[in-house]
Chain A
């Protein structure tokens, strides 16, 4: 039987704002399947976002949803989680929102290892404002503000998350739709700050400037460059040139922030 997405979609809120060919809808469906698989209680789940195309996702989902200011999802969400640790908190957003204007909140949420899951839809561009380059835009790529090619080097978002202290980091792509829900479900179940980067596409503002003739071509790139971590172990550095690793890239058990703060409360009460 086909999966029933309607259980999680707010009545009357579709169609969504995303362009034809955009991968955000694929990610949203993956997130919904993950929420269902883990069995999260909708009224006890907060979905928090910043600003941008990807950040419009919470509006469509029937949970407690918080569409915040540009880049601030992690900081708003930290307030929600600290005040009510029993809630499940999921963050969604794009690459520019999360790693440029929201970069500071992102790395500190990773550092605290606070029990939330952050899904970053990386389409390598600021889509909503018309295609300006982001910290994830490849060097040399064309954007509306890099008409002569992008001089900036790009972040590896997953590596950034690992370096900053996130204790679960995974990567998938919008092409590998069936893997998305599994990665997100595992991330939600991980106790600590988990990051799931989904490589996505923006045919409207990235594709057309960078000689992609169709959405299918953009999706095929995602298909071709993705190498599962297990398969990569058997490949040489030369073979891995230009590839990106997908799957669970990093996982460790470390003290979780709200649990640690509960101990602070115990110590404070004992000292009273």
Chain B
């Protein structure tokens, strides 16, 4: 039987991907340009007995998400820049309390209200550094409608597997453009559920590291009584200020992601093997970059594309390897050099990194990238 296809925008695909992953709870607040996710979820969730709630503000939406997830459901919120700023408080809470959830954020112009309908890629640092304190960060940056669907599924899997919030951030172009999407059949994509406790309630500790760096999470109302707090906590979930416990727990929370980078990170290398110039790009900008690479090859320039599919954790080791045999990197992005700085930071000065930065609400076109390639000596 032929697979189901549709002509969807990225936001609609994200909502469909969430449903495929088993999401049954959505809490959000209206914000351009992400609102379609909430609209689809408000229509689809009740059909399967799921819950949709439009909260009084972005902070409340993030809070409701965590509350819902603690009852054992897979929970999604969607937002955009200003909303992401507001959500940071409780994103930090989800990090320290280790509550799985998915935050879908459409990057628009900023800071502040910025350009609500203009595309941008300027939230990638906010995904890692937006909330205070040391914490893990997982950020997926899809470049097509199909990939937005599939990466939203993977975002839920990573959230459940590592007990941590996961962010998916398309830029506004990916979020709003329409493309053909082929829906995966049931069972075709992996769907991961959090590990439930194997011990009886009286022995259960919500942060019991004898089960590894990602302890099983019980659900409220499932017979397990336990305490959850945003304070630094012990294995039983209760607050502590004991230096050695706080140090060990903080390190474990970050290690959950850092030690599993190989499982989490995803990127695509296109014509990189023999390339003199490697363009490092993500989101809609990577589509311009691919076009530019093809144009350059036609003109005898050995160009390649390194396309980030996860921005955090960042594939530092692979870029360091590549840096040893290229003449230059080019980092086109719709911000003033966020990826640029990270690339520079990981290649130990092995090659120059040329940036193309646009924050005027216009996409980066292939011609700009080809022109930059010509500057490479």
From A63, which residue of chain B is reached at the shortest CB distance? B225
Stretch at the interface among B53-61, B143-151, B261-269, B327-335: B53-61
Give chain B interface residues in 230-268, CB to chain A under 8 Å: 230-231, 238-239
Size bracket of the A interface: 35 or more
List residues of chain B with CB within 8 A of the CB of A10.
227
| Chain B nearest CB, measured from A255 CB (Å) | 16
- The answer to whether B59 and A72 have CB atoms under 8 Å apart is yes
B70 at the interface (CB under 8 A from A): yes
From A87, which residue of chain B is reached at the shortest CB distance? B221
B68 at the interface (CB under 8 A from A): yes
Task: Give complex CA distance A261, B73 in Å.
Answer: 17
| A–B complex contacts, Cβ < 8 Å, 5 sampled | A48-B67, A58-B227, A83-B67, A104-B56, A108-B56
- The answer to whether A105 and B67 have CB atoms under 8 Å apart is no
- The answer to whether B90 and A72 have CB atoms under 8 Å apart is yes
Using known A-B contacts A75-B63, A87-B71, A264-B46, determine if residue A69 contacts B93 with beta carbons closer than 8 Å: yes
Give chain A interface residues in 84-120, CB to chain B under 8 Å: 84, 86-87, 104-105, 107-108
A62 at the interface (CB under 8 A from B): yes
List residues of chain B with CB within 8 A of the CB of A67.
227-231, 239
- The answer to whether B46 and A69 have CB atoms under 8 Å apart is no
From A105, which residue of chain B is reached at the shortest CB distance? B60
B interface residues with partner A (beta carbon < 8 Å) = 24-25, 27, 43, 46-47, 49, 51, 53, 55-57, 59-61, 63-73, 75, 89-90, 93, 201, 220-221, 223-231, 238-239
| Chain A nearest CB, measured from B204 CB (Å) | 11
List residues of chain B with CB within 8 A of the CB of A76.
63-64, 66-67
- The answer to whether B71 and A84 have CB atoms under 8 Å apart is yes
From B25, which residue of chain A is reached at the shortest CB distance? A83
From A271, which residue of chain B is reached at the shortest CB distance? B47
Using known A-B contacts A83-B51, A108-B56, determine if residue A46 contacts B220 with beta carbons closer than 8 Å: yes
A14 at the interface (CB under 8 A from B): no
9 interchain residue pairs of minimum CB distance: A79-B67, A79-B64, A75-B63, A268-B46, A75-B60, A83-B68, A108-B56, A79-B68, A67-B229
List residues of chain A with CB within 8 A of the CB of B27.
79, 82
| Chain A nearest CB, measured from B224 CB (Å) | 7
User: A44, A81, A82, A267: which has the most chain B beta carbons within 10 Å?
Assistant: A82
12 extra A-B contacts, CB within 8 A, seeds A66-B70, A264-B46: A10-B227, A76-B63, A78-B67, A79-B68, A79-B69, A83-B67, A87-B221, A104-B60, A105-B56, A108-B60, A269-B47, A269-B49
Pick the residue among A42, A82, A104, A107 that contacts B51 (CB under 8 A): A82
- The answer to whether A86 and B221 have CB atoms under 8 Å apart is yes
Task: Give complex CA distance A83, B224 in Å.
Answer: 17
Task: Give complex CA distance A59, B90 in Å.
Answer: 20
The binding surface of chain B is classed by DSSP as mixed
A interface residues with partner B (beta carbon < 8 Å) = 10, 13, 42-44, 46, 48, 58-59, 62-69, 72, 74-84, 86-87, 104-105, 107-108, 261, 264-265, 267-269, 271-272
| Chain B nearest CB, measured from A75 CB (Å) | 4
List residues of chain B with CB within 8 A of the CB of A107.
56
Using known A-B contacts A43-B201, A104-B60, A268-B47, determine if residue A80 contacts B68 with beta carbons closer than 8 Å: yes
Using known A-B contacts A76-B66, A268-B43, determine if residue A82 contacts B25 with beta carbons closer than 8 Å: yes
Task: Give complex CA distance A272, B49 in Å.
Answer: 12
Task: Give complex CA distance A77, B71 in Å.
Answer: 11
| Chain B nearest CB, measured from A60 CB (Å) | 10
List residues of chain A with CB within 8 A of the CB of B230.
67-69
- The answer to whether B47 and A272 have CB atoms under 8 Å apart is yes
From A83, which residue of chain B is reached at the shortest CB distance? B68
| Chain B nearest CB, measured from A10 CB (Å) | 8
Pick the residue among A13, A48, A82, A104 that contacts B68 (CB under 8 A): A82
- The answer to whether B224 and A82 have CB atoms under 8 Å apart is no
| Chain B nearest CB, measured from A203 CB (Å) | 24
List residues of chain B with CB within 8 A of the CB of A83.
24-25, 51, 67-69, 71-73, 75
From B238, which residue of chain A is reached at the shortest CB distance? A59
Task: Give complex CA distance A44, B63 in Å.
Answer: 20
Task: Give complex CA distance A77, B70 in Å.
Answer: 10
From A101, which residue of chain B is reached at the shortest CB distance? B59
From A107, which residue of chain B is reached at the shortest CB distance? B56
| Chain B nearest CB, measured from A9 CB (Å) | 13
Pick the residue among B56, B70, B221 that contacts A43 (CB under 8 A): B221
List residues of chain A with CB within 8 A of the CB of B69.
79, 83
From A74, which residue of chain B is reached at the shortest CB distance? B60
